[in-house]
Amino acid sequence: MTTNSIPWPGAGVAEPSVVDRLHGWVTTVDHKRLGILYIVYALTFLIIGGIEATIIRIQLIRPHADFVSPEVFNRMFTMHGTTMIFFMVMPILFGFGNYLIPLMIGARDMAFPRLNAFSFWLTAFGGLLLYFSLVGANGLYGAGNAPDVGWFAYAPLTSRAFSVGHSTDFWTLSIFVSGFGSIGVAINFIATILCMRCPGMTLAKMPLLGWMYLVTAGLVVLAVSPLSAAQIMLIIDRYLGGHFFDTQAGGSAVMWMHFFWVFGHPEVYILVLPAFGFASEIIPVFSRKPIFGYSVMVAATVAIGFISMSVWAHHMFTVGMGRALNTLFVFTTMAIAVPTGIKIFNWLGTMWGGKIEFKTPMLFCTGFIFQFLLAGLTGIMLGSAPFNWQLSNSYFVVAHFHYVIVGAIVFCIFAAIYYWYPKISGRMYNERLGQLHFWLFFIGFHLTFDFMHFVGLLGMPRRIYTYEPGRGWETLNLIVTIGVFFQAAAIIVMLVNLVWSYSRGEKAGADPWDAWTLEWSTSSPPPVYNFAAIPAVRSRRPLWDLKHPDNPDWRYEE
Ligand SMILES: [Cu+2]
Q: How far apart are CA 336 and CA 403, in angstroms?
A: 17
Cα(531) to centroid(ligand 1), Å: 41
pLDDT band with cut points at 50, 70 and 90 for residue 140: low
Q: Phi then psi for 485, rounded to 5 degrees?
A: -70, -35
- Bridge partners of 427? 507
- Given a cut of 70, whether residue 6 has pLDDT beyond it is no
- Given a cut of 50, whether residue 88 has pLDDT beyond it is yes
Q: pLDDT tens across 307-340, in order? A: 999 999 999 999 999 999 999 999 999 999 999 9
pLDDT band with cut points at 50, 70 and 90 for residue 135: confident
Write the DSSP symbol of residue 14.
P
Q: What percent of the chain has pLDDT over 70?
A: 96
- Given a cut of 70, whether residue 7 has pLDDT beyond it is no
Cα(381) to centroid(ligand 1), Å: 12
Q: How far apart are CA 242 and CA 125, in angstroms?
A: 28
Cα(314) to centroid(ligand 1), Å: 6
Q: How far apart are CA 444 and CA 432, in angstroms?
A: 18
Cα separations in angstroms, 383 against 261, 269, 397, 458, 500: 14, 16, 11, 19, 45
Please provide the DSSP assignment of 229-267 as one string.
HHHHHHHHHHHS---TT-GGGT--HHHHHHHHHHHHHHH
pLDDT at 277 (0 to 100): 98
- Given a cut of 90, whether residue 15 has pLDDT beyond it is no
Q: pLDDT tens across 210-247, in order? A: 999 999 999 999 999 999 999 999 999 999 999 999 99
Cα separations in angstroms, 404 against 11, 61, 96, 450: 48, 23, 19, 12
Average pLDDT over residues 437-459: 98
Q: pLDDT tens across 18-40, in order? A: 999 999 999 999 999 999 999 99
Q: pLDDT tens across 401-444, in order? A: 999 999 999 999 999 999 999 999 999 999 999 999 999 999 99
Q: Residue 461 contacts by C-beta under 8 Å, 6 or more apart in sequence? A: 393, 394, 395
pLDDT band with cut points at 50, 70 and 90 for residue 260: very high
What's the CA dihedral at 551, 554, 555, 558 to 10 degrees?
180
Which residue, 35, 247, 102, is CA-closest to 161?
A: 247
pLDDT band with cut points at 50, 70 and 90 for residue 145: confident
Cα(227) to centroid(ligand 1), Å: 15
Cα(456) to centroid(ligand 1), Å: 18
Average pLDDT over residues 493-522: 97
Cα(172) to centroid(ligand 1), Å: 21
Rg (CA), the chain: 24
Please provide the DSSP assignment of 269-301 as one string.
HHHHHHHHHHHHHHHHHHHTSPPTTHHHHHHHH
pLDDT band with cut points at 50, 70 and 90 for residue 143: low
pLDDT at 11 (0 to 100): 55
Cα separations in angstroms, 433 against 356, 368, 408, 495: 20, 19, 21, 10
- Bridge partners of 522? 4
Q: Is-contact 296 347, C-beta < 8 A?
A: no
- Given a cut of 60, whether residue 199 has pLDDT beyond it is yes
Domains of the chain in start order, with CATH, are: 355-526 (1.20.210.10)
Average pLDDT over residues 350-370: 98
- Given a cut of 80, whether residue 138 has pLDDT beyond it is no
Cα(333) to centroid(ligand 1), Å: 8
Cα separations in angstroms, 375 against 91, 301, 384, 391, 400: 23, 18, 15, 15, 6
Cα(340) to centroid(ligand 1), Å: 14
Cα(386) to centroid(ligand 1), Å: 16
Q: Phi then psi for 4, rounded to 5 degrees?
A: -140, 120
pLDDT at 555 (0 to 100): 84
Q: Is-contact 444 484, C-beta < 8 A?
A: yes
pTM of this structure = 0.95
Cα(231) to centroid(ligand 1), Å: 20
Three-class DSSP category at 523: coil
Q: Is-contact 193 105, C-beta < 8 A?
A: yes
